């Protein structure tokens, strides 16, 4: 049995190394393409000298497009190299332990085989297993996670990509080590008084590996057109982050997409916040977005950035900020309609002071109070779309 376990471990290591090499080859290809586009850009810049003004303008736009494309290729190559460099260790459970787990699940009406436990470079454990239901009454992946947690003496939760029920047909299911932090979200919105729909769009979602992502986009102007612009940005950001793209690459690709529309008069903002629920770290990326806040008891920190919206100039220069978060902290994201337009006061400073004195647990209640406070200090007027997003983070209670 030991020789078989050693053989399985060796095969797994070989497959991991083979996949890593394939990814690195693709990354090198993208990097070479980026270099080729960069060289073509220099050649076209030299050719444009002495040409007519309209021709120079067209050449300039083409060079800007190539520059963006080359930058995106380089970002993609860097991301692929990061993936290839990520260390993954196969954890051998041993034949006897596997049989115990399979027998334990069978006693609960679940057939199991092909257990694989891996430890990622960040130390987090993941389990893949093939399951099917033995009973007519369907079992859920949540139940399977509870059984596996007991059998492996490790608190596991189902990965988001699993189906909810375990059917009669065999299928692969994935489970992850439970994060250290839990969260609740809340939001409040107000539509500009002359419009029917808000030009702000937002999303809360888990983007894999214990990361909670918050996306807020404010479309330029207001009404239906602003709603469509910001909605497209929020939807694309969610799709990219859920696919595993890094926040930095996501914002560069979105900038390219907005730039490609050629609508310089309609540039949406992007406020992106990613919270690592394992480590308690918070990562902000801002492109033309309003200030955000972190509330820790009576202390409030403002996260602000003097950056341009998406699509303003070439490659976006998004402002980055990383902060530690602790149990009981709140992260607050706002659209600029909440803090701008106050008749006699600095909206950001007033919101900051108000948050310091606030004693509220529910994120929904906190979002509502912030919204009411802002509208009250704007003399009851809603001159722009207003959105407040709140996330509360707490340490998970050990059972």
Query: pLDDT per residue over 175-219, tens digit each?
Result: 999 999 999 999 999 999 999 999 999 999 987 678 899 999 998
Q: How far apart are CA 25 and CA 391, in angstroms?
A: 40
Taking only the tens place, the pLDDT of each residue in 118-128 is: 887 677 888 98
143 and 206 share one domain: no
Whichever domain contains 226, its CATH number is 3.60.40.10
Q: Each residue of 308-360: pLDDT tens digit?
A: 778 766 566 677 889 999 999 999 999 999 999 888 788 899 999 999 999 98
What pLDDT is stored for residue 59 in this prediction? 54
Same domain, 275 and 185: yes
Angle CA 224–184–276, to nearest 5: 95
- Give the containing element (helix H, strand E) for 366: helix 363-377
- Does pLDDT of 224 surpass 80? yes
Sign of CA dihedral 37, 38, 41, 42: negative
* Whole-prediction pTM: 0.79
* Residues 299 and 256 occupy one common structural domain: yes
Residues 267 and 143 in one domain: no
Among 161, 177, 193, the domain-final residue is 177
Mean pLDDT of the chain: 82
Tell me the per-residue pLDDT of 129-171, one tens digit each, with 9 for 90 and over.
999 988 777 789 999 999 999 999 889 999 887 889 998 889 9
Taking residues 54-82, what's their average pLDDT? 62
CA-based end-to-end distance of the chain: 35
What average pLDDT score do residues 298-305 get? 92
How many domains does the chain divide into? 3
Question: Based on the domain organization, do 191 and 147 belong to the same domain?
Answer: no
The domain boundary residue, chosen from 150, 177, 204 = 177
110-120 and 200-206 strand pairing: unpaired
DSSP letter assigned to residue 108:
T
Same domain, 224 and 167: no
16 and 67 co-located in one domain: yes
User: For residue 372, what pLDDT band results from cuts at 50, 70 and 90?
Assistant: very high
Q: Examine the domain organization and report whether 99 and 244 are in the same domain.
A: no
**Domain boundary pick from 52, 86, 120:** 86
Short-list 110, 113, 102, CA closest to 134: 110
Q: Domain check: are 140 and 222 in the same one?
A: no
Give percent of the chain with pLDDT exceeding 90.
Answer: 42
Return all residues near 14 (Cβ < 8 A) that are at least 6 apart: none
Task: Please give the residue range of the domain that contains residue 49.
Answer: 2-86
Q: Is pLDDT at 64 greater than 60 in this prediction?
A: no
**Confidence check: pLDDT of 65 > 80:** no
- Is the same domain home to 108 and 70? no
Are residues 271 and 291 located together in one domain of the fold?
yes
Do 194 and 112 share a structural domain?
no
3-class secondary-structure state, position 188: strand
Longest dimension (CA), the chain: 82
For the cut 80, the answer to whether the pLDDT of residue 35 exceeds it is no
Distance CA 131, CA 138 (A): 12
Check residue 6 and give its pLDDT. 58
Amino acid 8: pLDDT: 59
Which three-class secondary structure state does DSSP give residue 169? coil
- Quote the pLDDT of residue 343: 83
């Amino acid at each position: 049995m030991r020789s078989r376990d050693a053989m399985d471990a060796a095969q797994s290591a070989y497959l991991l190394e083979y996949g890593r090499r394939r990814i690195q080859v693709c990354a090198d290809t993208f990097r070479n393409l980026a270099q080729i586009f960069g060289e073509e850009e220099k050649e076209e810049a030299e050719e444009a000298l002495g040409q007519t003004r309209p021709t120079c303008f067209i050449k300039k736009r083409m060079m800007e497009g190539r520059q963006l494309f080359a930058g995106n290729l380089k970002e993609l190559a860097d991301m692929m190299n990061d993936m290839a460099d990520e260390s993954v260790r196969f954890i051998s459970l041993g034949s006897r332990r596997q049989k115990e787990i399979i027998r334990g699940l069978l006693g609960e009406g679940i057939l199991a085989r092909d257990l694989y436990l891996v430890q990622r470079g960040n130390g987090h454990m993941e389990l893949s297993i093939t399951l099917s239901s033995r009973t007519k009454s369907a079992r859920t992946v949540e139940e399977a996670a509870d059984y596996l947690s007991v059998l492996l003496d490790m608190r596991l939760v189902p990965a988001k990509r699993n189906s909810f029920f375990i059917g009669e047909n065999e299928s692969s299911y994935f489970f992850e080590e439970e994060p250290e932090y839990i969260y609740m979200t809340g939001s409040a919105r107000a539509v500009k008084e002359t419009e029917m729909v808000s030009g702000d769009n937002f999303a809360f979602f888990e983007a894999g590996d214990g990361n909670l992502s918050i996306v807020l986009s404010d479309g330029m102007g207001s009404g239906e057109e602003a709603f469509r612009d910001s909605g497209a940005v929020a939807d694309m950001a969610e799709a990219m982050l859920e696919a595993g793209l890094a926040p930095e690459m996501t914002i560069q690709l979105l900038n390219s997409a907005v730039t490609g529309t050629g609508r310089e008069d309609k540039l949406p903002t992007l406020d992106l916040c990613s919270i690592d629920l394992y480590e308690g770290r918070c990562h902000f990326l801002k492109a033309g977005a309003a200030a955000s806040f972190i509330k820790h008891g009576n202390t409030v920190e403002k996260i602000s950035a003097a950056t341009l919206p998406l699509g303003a100039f070439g490659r976006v220069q998004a402002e980055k900020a990383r902060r530690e978060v602790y149990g009981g902290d709140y992260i607050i994201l706002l659209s600029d309609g909440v803090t701008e337009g106050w008749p006699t006061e600095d909206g950001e400073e007033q919101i900051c002071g108000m948050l310091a004195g606030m004693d509220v647990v529910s994120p929904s209640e906190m979002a509502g109070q912030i919204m009411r406070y802002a509208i009250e200090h704007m003399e009851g007027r809603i001159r722009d779309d207003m959105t407040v997003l709140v996330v509360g983070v707490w340490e998970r209670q050990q059972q």
